[in-house]
Amino acid sequence: MTSSTSAPSRKHALSKIACNRLQKELVEWQVSPPAGFKHKVTDNLQRWIIELVGAAGTLYANETYQLQVDFPEHYPMEAPQVVFVPPAPLHPHIYSNGHICLDILYDSWSPAMTVSSVCISILSMLSSSTVKQRPEDNDRHVRNCKNGRSPRRQDGGFMMTKCRFENHHPFLCYSSICCSPCFTAAAFFNYAQVCLPLQTTFPTAI
């Protein structure tokens, strides 16, 4: 997969609290990195490039992708912007421009979350998929994106249309910023910690 990244968007320098938090997370990552991930070391604390390898026994087994994580000035009080560096994996909740429809990156973000927990949630989302396909509104979403920025940075967020799904899945939620059920990592996180190492069957996301 490509290792290129998009140009950084205009942003403020990290606050002292954000710097201290990220340095702590970086040390913890180096001591105990999440399985399936590798942090590509650079001198830019505000942007992390992370390599992801699909879990064995899933549709994405041994496939390699890259995540770009940009931290806002007031992290962790604000969620990081996390996108796949194109080409992004084919997934019902991942747009072709790399944007990810995952609730903890938007409405359900908590300062208690870390880069590691976000990575595990994204891998869980990939591992639970039973189909490789783009979101139904992929073309419209990409066409309407402003400067390639994450929907969290745009007015209105993801395309605001009524979802075609009628029933909630235990690990899905309907987010106000998404036209389809966002994958809910909060409920899935503890489950994934057990399932990922064992490479067992994941519940179906869609």
Q: Is residue 98 in some structural domain?
A: yes
Neighbour count for residue 38 (Cβ, 10 Å): 15
**Rounded Cα gap, residues 184 and 137, in angstroms:** 19
**Rounded Cα gap, residues 141 and 158, in angstroms:** 7
| CA nearest neighbour of 72 among 155, 150, 158, 4 | 150
pTM exceeds 0.75:
no
Contacts of 99 (CB under 8 A, 6+ apart): 83, 141, 145, 150, 151, 158
Structure confidence by residue, pLDDT tens digits, 140-162: 999 888 655 555 544 444 433 33
Domain with residue 99: its CATH number is 3.10.110.10
Q: Is residue 142 in some structural domain?
A: yes
The whole-number pLDDT of residue 147 equals 58
The whole-number pLDDT of residue 11 equals 62
Domain with 86 in it: 16-147
Q: Is residue 161 in some structural domain?
A: no
Q: Is residue 178 in some structural domain?
A: no
- C-beta separation of 95 from 9 below 8 A: no
Does the annotation mark 101 as catalytic?
yes
Q: Is residue 202 in some structural domain?
A: no
- C-beta separation of 177 from 151 below 8 A: yes
Q: Is residue 171 in some structural domain?
A: no
The domain tally of the chain equals 1
Structure confidence by residue, pLDDT tens digits, 68-114: 999 999 999 999 999 999 999 999 999 999 999 999 998 899 999 99
Catalytic residue among 19, 101, 179, 195: 101
Q: Is residue 23 in some structural domain?
A: yes
Give me the phi and psi of 139, to 5 degrees please. -60, -40
The arithmetic mean of pLDDT across residues 179-184, rounded, is 46
Q: Is residue 36 in some structural domain?
A: yes
